[in-house]
Chains A and B, each alone.
Chain A
């Protein structure tokens, strides 16, 4: 493939060693504080750990969705940087590890794990066939296994194509992706029900899986966009990436920002309008004390700022703006998860302290270090992909 490589203007360059060191340092600081936080207040730490777990699930599994989407849609514009998303997606391997502390504190997080509470509560009793620790555990294990399996299979085909350039591998991955889509829909829905919705086991909403999905795709897309632009600016990708590619990333971010708002608004409006106490308490809880500020803030953080930040055509192409908005959207997704999860921990007032800072720091460390380790000795663009040339030729 050497002639091809010169043709697409890519020469393999290892990431600087300093990046690994930075990632390691951030991870170290985060890890120490996180461990301390578990000793100080293990319940609060477990809630934060749950947010971190869901955030990394979003980035990892959302990335798998983006990869599968490219394959089945036959998209070419995203092919030149699909490898970057593949590397970020490697986080799915770590998810079981991150889930361990959450799982050990299941009793503090989930009301329905207390048998004495469930007994005598009609609503909880009736759903105990689904919400019980053993079935919950089975689901969690199966979902992790499925995500890791699809990640490994998709990655294997993509990597071996770097060497062989075999078109059949693309075909194989298209099939895998098609199978992955329904798997993704089911797993991401029930993960969100298990990990987030069941924090308030009396509450229910049919759209909840879609709501979490919309945030998932946004987070994965933002993480990908940020990494792609930073790598490309430092020359680790190829010169072929131009503003047309950036524009497409920006447009997708913009589209999913709107999609999230649409789903969030639909859920809110329908529950508010019908005004059934079985459903409204969930929103009312998020209206207590200072939670009101967090709830109103969500509209600005998750919708208004990225909406206006990405509305105009030039802003979707501007690497500076895109980097800023990617970081902002990642923050917004964390904010969203905080808004979903923490009211169960602290009902009266919103809480924010050093613990709520420590977990995001650890997350950043994990992502950077995982990226450095997984990308080692790999091409950062899929050099053998038959769609690569077309992808580089892509213009609006």
Chain B
């Protein structure tokens, strides 16, 4: 057995770096010109984005017939991708808000980055419902307002609740993110020698002077926003699950969907955050700030949420059998052994089996292995949405209307484009804003907390 000393708290940041050094190291990417590798990475993501943009333009010009969507599978890849990207966004709020409320101090090193990912992921997700309707220029009608056509939205539809939930979530996440950035903007303002930057940082830091009073207000606002963000993040994927579960389609209508979707969202989001952070900490030399212990904890959360997802799969199967309802039983047998069995078993192995390797401490702390597992998790989670959306629709109650859904090249190009969109924003983020919160990291350096030992 290893020698963990339980009488002392594990240091979040290794090696007690002086505060000045933290300032330097975190703002370094903002103060230096990007190198060649950065431009190579950016050109790759921009190419992906460009391919997606072309595919979209073609879709608008020729119509959505370019996609694989057919009758009965009206919800093809666009909805799969929408649910996937909204899910990716969930880890950010979980880390920044829920782990904050749970006083998990190790989150401080990764919260800013994860929160940024949330915003970009929700933006990416937002594209899909808009293009799925085929006429994105009419999207304004999604918002209920008294108009001259007397057209109102269907308030009883969860698809509309999605509009409210996602837009509220985006707004609160953005405000939360910005509030966290204010003290860092002030730090950057005080450091920079560039006049234009000085003006920008002065404006965005809202006159922050690191005074005691400012901190007091800041902490209060931050706590309240975390309290707001927590139910919001849960509600978003809950409502996404309602999109499916309020219907009576076998395989969709099951009561465990809300918590199961939330667990799955956190699962895939953490995998994505872990993947990207592994690169960030290496490239920017943040290995002592985003430590191996932090990565290990993230892997533990993946193990937990992956097991929760596995529990949901098992429950769905068991209750489908237990219910004695034939369409229900057929839907699940069809998933596992029907024409989409290949997708189903990719999903099960990537989401349930591989994450179980995280029971082993060596694997939890082995960077290449954990990276691969997290990639597999995201593959699995994408396939989960594919399995749910497609299998139930392609074989519904009436065998004469069954059809096999096959995504087209254009579908694939749009998916590729969404990754390009997301990673382009991410790359720009790393060079324009501090990807680790300067102020929050300083708060978790050893010795910075007041001790209550000798009172």
Chain A residues close to B by CB (< 8 Å):
76, 122-124, 126-127, 130, 167-168, 170-171, 178, 182, 185, 189, 193, 202, 204-210, 258, 262-263, 266-267, 269-271, 273-276, 278, 385-387, 389-390, 393, 395-396
With a cutoff of 8 Å between Cβ atoms, the chain B residues found around residue A171 in the complex are: 1, 4
A239 to chain B, nearest CB (A): 11
Q: Check if A274 sits within 8 Å of B6, measured CB to CB.
A: no
Interface string of B284-317 (1 = CB under 8 A from A): 0000000000000000000000010001100110
B453 within 8 Å of A by Cβ? yes
Please measure, in the bound complex, the distance between the C-alpha atom of A192 and the C-alpha atom of B446, giving whole angstroms: 46
With a cutoff of 8 Å between Cβ atoms, the chain B residues found around residue A124 in the complex are: 324
With a cutoff of 8 Å between Cβ atoms, the chain B residues found around residue A206 in the complex are: 254-256, 312, 315-316, 319
With a cutoff of 8 Å between Cβ atoms, the chain B residues found around residue A275 in the complex are: 248
A-B contact pairs, 27 of them (CB 8 A): A123-B323, A127-B321, A127-B324, A170-B6, A185-B307, A202-B324, A206-B256, A206-B312, A206-B316, A207-B255, A207-B259, A208-B255, A262-B258, A262-B259, A263-B258, A266-B255, A266-B257, A270-B245, A270-B246, A270-B254, A274-B253, A278-B323, A278-B325, A389-B7, A390-B9, A393-B452, A395-B452
Question: For residue B303, which residue of chain A has the nearest CB?
Answer: A178
Please measure, in the bound complex, the distance between the C-alpha atom of A204 and the C-alpha atom of B254, giving whole angstroms: 10
Please measure, in the bound complex, the distance between the C-alpha atom of A124 and the C-alpha atom of B247, giving whole angstroms: 25
Main secondary structure of the interface of A (DSSP, over half): helix
Residue A122 contacts which of B312, B316, B321, B324 (CB distance < 8 angstroms)? B324
With a cutoff of 8 Å between Cβ atoms, the chain A residues found around residue B256 in the complex are: 206-207, 210
With a cutoff of 8 Å between Cβ atoms, the chain B residues found around residue A390 in the complex are: 7-9
Give the number of residue pairs across the A-B interface with Cβ within 8 Å.
97
With a cutoff of 8 Å between Cβ atoms, the chain A residues found around residue B307 in the complex are: 182, 185
Q: Check if B311 sits within 8 Å of A185, measured CB to CB.
A: yes
With a cutoff of 8 Å between Cβ atoms, the chain A residues found around residue B173 in the complex are: none
With a cutoff of 8 Å between Cβ atoms, the chain A residues found around residue B359 in the complex are: 178
Please measure, in the bound complex, the distance between the C-alpha atom of A267 and the C-alpha atom of B245, giving whole angstroms: 10
**Max chain A CB contacts within 10 Å: which of B307, B359, B452?**
B452
Nearest 9 A/B pairs, CB to CB: A206-B256, A386-B6, A123-B324, A207-B255, A126-B324, A266-B258, A273-B246, A204-B323, A207-B256
B451 within 8 Å of A by Cβ? yes
Q: Check if A274 sits within 8 Å of B248, measured CB to CB.
A: yes
Residue B315 contacts which of A123, A209, A267 (CB distance < 8 angstroms)? A209
Q: When A274-B247, A274-B253, A386-B6 are in contact, do A210 and B259 touch as well, CB less than 8 Å?
A: yes
**Max chain A CB contacts within 10 Å: which of B5, B254, B316, B359?**
B254
B242 within 8 Å of A by Cβ? yes
Q: When A274-B248, A395-B452 are in contact, do A205 and B6 touch as well, CB less than 8 Å?
A: no
Q: Check if B324 sits within 8 Å of A167, measured CB to CB.
A: no
Q: Check if B254 sits within 8 Å of A393, measured CB to CB.
A: no
Q: Check if A267 sits within 8 Å of B255, measured CB to CB.
A: yes
Please measure, in the bound complex, the distance between the C-alpha atom of A171 and the C-alpha atom of B247, giving whole angstroms: 47
Interface residues of B in 257-291 (CB under 8 A from A): 257-259
B342 within 8 Å of A by Cβ? no
Please measure, in the bound complex, the distance between the C-alpha atom of A104 and the C-alpha atom of B244, giving whole angstroms: 43
With a cutoff of 8 Å between Cβ atoms, the chain B residues found around residue A205 in the complex are: 255, 319
Q: Check if A127 sits within 8 Å of B322, measured CB to CB.
A: yes
With a cutoff of 8 Å between Cβ atoms, the chain A residues found around residue B254 in the complex are: 206, 270
Q: Check if A270 sits within 8 Å of B6, measured CB to CB.
A: no
B418 within 8 Å of A by Cβ? no
With a cutoff of 8 Å between Cβ atoms, the chain A residues found around residue B321 in the complex are: 127
Question: For residue A208, which residue of chain B has the nearest CB?
Answer: B255
Q: Please give 9 more A-B residue pairs, beta carbons under 8 A apart, in addition to A204-B323, A387-B6.
A: A126-B324, A127-B322, A206-B256, A262-B234, A262-B259, A270-B246, A270-B253, A270-B258, A395-B452
A71 to chain B, nearest CB (A): 10
Please measure, in the bound complex, the distance between the C-alpha atom of A178 and the C-alpha atom of B359, giving whole angstroms: 9
With a cutoff of 8 Å between Cβ atoms, the chain A residues found around residue B238 in the complex are: 262, 266
**Max chain A CB contacts within 10 Å: which of B4, B231, B324?**
B324
Please measure, in the bound complex, the distance between the C-alpha atom of A204 and the C-alpha atom of B234, giving whole angstroms: 25
B234 to chain A, nearest CB (A): 7
With a cutoff of 8 Å between Cβ atoms, the chain B residues found around residue A204 in the complex are: 319, 322-323
Question: For residue B245, which residue of chain A has the nearest CB?
Answer: A270
Q: When A122-B324, A167-B6, A182-B307 are in contact, do A270 and B255 touch as well, CB less than 8 Å?
A: yes
Please measure, in the bound complex, the distance between the C-alpha atom of A267 and the C-alpha atom of B259, giving whole angstroms: 11
B241 to chain A, nearest CB (A): 8
Q: When A270-B253, A276-B253, A393-B452 are in contact, do A387 and B242 touch as well, CB less than 8 Å?
A: no
Question: For residue B257, which residue of chain A has the nearest CB?
Answer: A270
Please measure, in the bound complex, the distance between the C-alpha atom of A168 and the C-alpha atom of B7, giving whole angstroms: 12
Question: For residue A271, which residue of chain B has the nearest CB?
Answer: B255
With a cutoff of 8 Å between Cβ atoms, the chain A residues found around residue B323 in the complex are: 123, 204, 278
Please measure, in the bound complex, the distance between the C-alpha atom of A210 and the C-alpha atom of B314, giving whole angstroms: 13
With a cutoff of 8 Å between Cβ atoms, the chain B residues found around residue A208 in the complex are: 255
Question: For residue B248, which residue of chain A has the nearest CB?
Answer: A274
Please measure, in the bound complex, the distance between the C-alpha atom of A209 and the C-alpha atom of B259, giving whole angstroms: 12
Q: Check if B242 sits within 8 Å of A270, measured CB to CB.
A: yes
Question: For residue A206, which residue of chain B has the nearest CB?
Answer: B256
B428 to chain A, nearest CB (A): 36
**Max chain A CB contacts within 10 Å: which of B238, B245, B255?**
B255
Please measure, in the bound complex, the distance between the C-alpha atom of A274 and the C-alpha atom of B252, giving whole angstroms: 11
B344 to chain A, nearest CB (A): 18
With a cutoff of 8 Å between Cβ atoms, the chain A residues found around residue B312 in the complex are: 206
Please measure, in the bound complex, the distance between the C-alpha atom of A273 and the C-alpha atom of B325, giving whole angstroms: 18
With a cutoff of 8 Å between Cβ atoms, the chain A residues found around residue B7 in the complex are: 167, 386-387, 389-390
**Max chain A CB contacts within 10 Å: which of B231, B234, B315?**
B315
Please measure, in the bound complex, the distance between the C-alpha atom of A76 and the C-alpha atom of B104, giving whole angstroms: 12
Question: For residue A244, which residue of chain B has the nearest CB?
Answer: B452
With a cutoff of 8 Å between Cβ atoms, the chain B residues found around residue A386 in the complex are: 5-7
With a cutoff of 8 Å between Cβ atoms, the chain A residues found around residue B246 in the complex are: 269-270, 273-274
Interface residues of B in 200-256 (CB under 8 A from A): 231, 234, 238, 242, 245-248, 253-256
With a cutoff of 8 Å between Cβ atoms, the chain A residues found around residue B234 in the complex are: 262
With a cutoff of 8 Å between Cβ atoms, the chain B residues found around residue A262 in the complex are: 234, 238, 258-259
With a cutoff of 8 Å between Cβ atoms, the chain B residues found around residue A76 in the complex are: 9
With a cutoff of 8 Å between Cβ atoms, the chain A residues found around residue B259 in the complex are: 207, 210, 262-263, 266
Question: For residue A193, which residue of chain B has the nearest CB?
Answer: B322
Question: For residue B316, which residue of chain A has the nearest CB?
Answer: A206
A308 to chain B, nearest CB (A): 15
Residue B453 contacts which of A193, A209, A393 (CB distance < 8 angstroms)? A393
Please measure, in the bound complex, the distance between the C-alpha atom of A168 and the C-alpha atom of B258, giving whole angstroms: 40
Please measure, in the bound complex, the distance between the C-alpha atom of A385 and the C-alpha atom of B359, giving whole angstroms: 25
Please measure, in the bound complex, the distance between the C-alpha atom of A97 and the C-alpha atom of B236, giving whole angstroms: 45
A382 to chain B, nearest CB (A): 12
B257 to chain A, nearest CB (A): 7
Please measure, in the bound complex, the distance between the C-alpha atom of A88 and the C-alpha atom of B414, giving whole angstroms: 57
With a cutoff of 8 Å between Cβ atoms, the chain B residues found around residue A396 in the complex are: 103
Please measure, in the bound complex, the distance between the C-alpha atom of A262 and the C-alpha atom of B231, giving whole angstroms: 10
With a cutoff of 8 Å between Cβ atoms, the chain A residues found around residue B245 in the complex are: 270, 274
Question: For residue A129, which residue of chain B has the nearest CB?
Answer: B321
Please measure, in the bound complex, the distance between the C-alpha atom of A202 and the C-alpha atom of B324, giving whole angstroms: 8
Question: For residue A167, which residue of chain B has the nearest CB?
Answer: B6
Please measure, in the bound complex, the distance between the C-alpha atom of A276 and the C-alpha atom of B246, giving whole angstroms: 11
Please measure, in the bound complex, the distance between the C-alpha atom of A56 and the C-alpha atom of B368, giving whole angstroms: 47
Interface residues of B in 1-57 (CB under 8 A from A): 1, 4-9
With a cutoff of 8 Å between Cβ atoms, the chain A residues found around residue B258 in the complex are: 207, 262-263, 266, 270
With a cutoff of 8 Å between Cβ atoms, the chain B residues found around residue A202 in the complex are: 324
Residue B1 contacts which of A168, A178, A273 (CB distance < 8 angstroms)? A168
Interface string of B91-117 (1 = CB under 8 A from A): 000000000000100000000000000
Please measure, in the bound complex, the distance between the C-alpha atom of A167 and the C-alpha atom of B1, giving whole angstroms: 11
Please measure, in the bound complex, the distance between the C-alpha atom of A385 and the C-alpha atom of B6, giving whole angstroms: 9
With a cutoff of 8 Å between Cβ atoms, the chain A residues found around residue B248 in the complex are: 274-276
